[in-house]
A and B are shown apart, each in its own frame.
Chain A
């Protein structure tokens, strides 16, 4: 059968260190590259796409005091958030007993919107504290 001698030779693994005579004669694989000398400047394009513009939303005016107000304590569903908000309710009952707290679990998971809840808070409450994921 015919053997491709050139292909065979390239299949043989031999230490390049043995091959290298003087470094000027044989440079073992991989080869070095010579390019145009001196640093040539090129122009390359920005790879970014198109992020959306953001409409600024003005924040709601603040309350002048929390005394006598109703604060909704809203959990975003992160494990343990309900217990933490309960501790906040306890803190208010000890330190600012005139503050009323109402606990709610936000619908829709961490990122979900809950318009029904916001409407309820707007109607029956004064402010919201939310905990504690992202």
Chain B
């Protein structure tokens, strides 16, 4: 920068701060640490922090901050040049047991057993694509802009696909997912979840499950493709290092498989198009589509009112992190029922939901933080809304089409995304705060 700086960071981010400094070329940056959290401290409490100690060094804080700016640089701190990371030897020879241990201990897996990537197995996997092993597939990072981007080639994806237990015929799907540049493990403190939906002829070719138990562990394509995404995000993007490139406070169980399944295209009601066709692809193209969100609600409910109204009510009252995005996952029997009630396309139903969902009063005033102030001045519609009371349903639709964080510009988005899948054993459905990110061609990678 050209002038001395003294960065102060709360202790929760100690590892992250140090590695960040190092990756930007200043491994010895003089960072001083503070207790965590600071956000909810009063002014008085914050002053006390200044009079106390750095929780990492246990030295008095203010003198440390002053020293950071005034103490002359050491020889080490003045060093220039470049550092090449050491990624280890080309080949590792040992027993199968020792190798499983090695990969796990070096954080190269999701902590479950892998298929060890021998040269033979990687060669077999590479036969699943016509692309050359050295071709660059794309770039991955734990959070674009905040973390360095790693680029990677076809061969590296193959190694991770072997580890996941995938078959060579699944390889084009895994390459397509990798090519999106979206990691399955985003760094945020809020524990993002991802979903990957497959459309087109590839589903039947590799026997994906979109019937009974579609989202569960009942099929090797669904299981290993989903898992491969997590493995390659770690190894080819540097994601998933807790405290450094992964900060999700509680984590999410959905990261194990990343909700990987195929849409049930042959059971779509007349007029309802598959996801990939909605996004401009031809029906005979094989496509992966990526979604991003946090939560899934599983609804099995026999109501007096039609299902399309139950879903509307669920949406009105739904509260989760992604508060204005919804993806609906409907069993074919539910889709059929909704279609029978006059919704000739997915878009028709989305239209109905946009027009008829409301927002509970408590949530409305949470979202519109200066709303009550304006209501007090008599500004509409806030004044009328306020009169409706604390328990009312405000006639405000909060579901609008928006791009999730990290999604590329452009592309067709809907306030409500609809996917159809399931084994028709009952009229059940899922809903979650997921938004559509992007799609990629699988055919390109065959």
Direct A–B contact present (CB less than 8 angstroms): yes
Please list the residues of chain A having a beta carbon within 8 angstroms of any beta carbon in chain B: 1, 3, 5-6, 8-19, 24-35, 79
Q: Which of A5, A12, A18, A32 contacts B92 (CB 8 A)?
A: A32
Bound state CA distance, A29 and B153, in angstroms? 12
Max count, chain B CB within 10 A of own CB: residue among A1, A9, A11, A33: A33
Decide if A32 touches B117 in the complex (CB within 8 Å).
yes
Residues of A within 8 A of B90 (CB): 24-27, 31-32
Q: Which of A1, A5, A29 contacts B87 (CB 8 A)?
A: A29
Decide if B88 touches A29 in the complex (CB within 8 Å).
yes
Q: By the criterion of a CB under 8 Å from any partner CB, how many residues of chain B are at the interface? A: 48
Task: Check A31/B19 contact, CB under 8 A, given A14-B148, A15-B150, A19-B84.
Answer: no
Task: Please name the residue on chain A nearest to B156 by beta carbon.
Answer: A28
Q: How far is the CB of A91 from chain B (nearest CB, A)?
A: 26
Please list the residues of chain B having a beta carbon within 8 angstroms of any beta carbon in chain A: 18-19, 22-23, 27-28, 57, 83-96, 99, 103, 108, 116-119, 122, 136, 141, 147-153, 156, 159-160, 163, 235-236, 238, 244-245, 302
Q: How far is the CB of A11 from chain B (nearest CB, A)?
A: 4
Q: Which of B83, B153, B163 contacts A12 (CB 8 A)?
A: B83
Max count, chain B CB within 10 A of own CB: residue among A25, A27, A31, A35: A31
Decide if A13 touches B235 in the complex (CB within 8 Å).
no
Decide if A13 touches B148 in the complex (CB within 8 Å).
yes
Task: Check A3/B28 contact, CB under 8 A, given A24-B90, A29-B87, A30-B163.
Answer: yes
Decide if B151 touches A29 in the complex (CB within 8 Å).
no
Task: Check A34/B91 contact, CB under 8 A, given A3-B28, A17-B151.
Answer: yes
Q: How far is the CB of A47 from chain B (nearest CB, A)?
A: 14
Decide if A34 touches B108 in the complex (CB within 8 Å).
no
Q: How far is the CB of B29 from chain A (nearest CB, A)?
A: 10
Q: How far is the CB of B144 from chain A (nearest CB, A)?
A: 13
Q: How far is the CB of B18 from chain A (nearest CB, A)?
A: 8
Bound state CA distance, A45 and B362, in angstroms? 58
Max count, chain B CB within 10 A of own CB: residue among A17, A25, A29: A29
Task: Please name the residue on chain A nearest to B19 by beta carbon.
Answer: A11
Nearest 7 CB-CB pairs, A to B? A27-B90, A11-B19, A13-B238, A13-B148, A33-B116, A30-B108, A31-B92
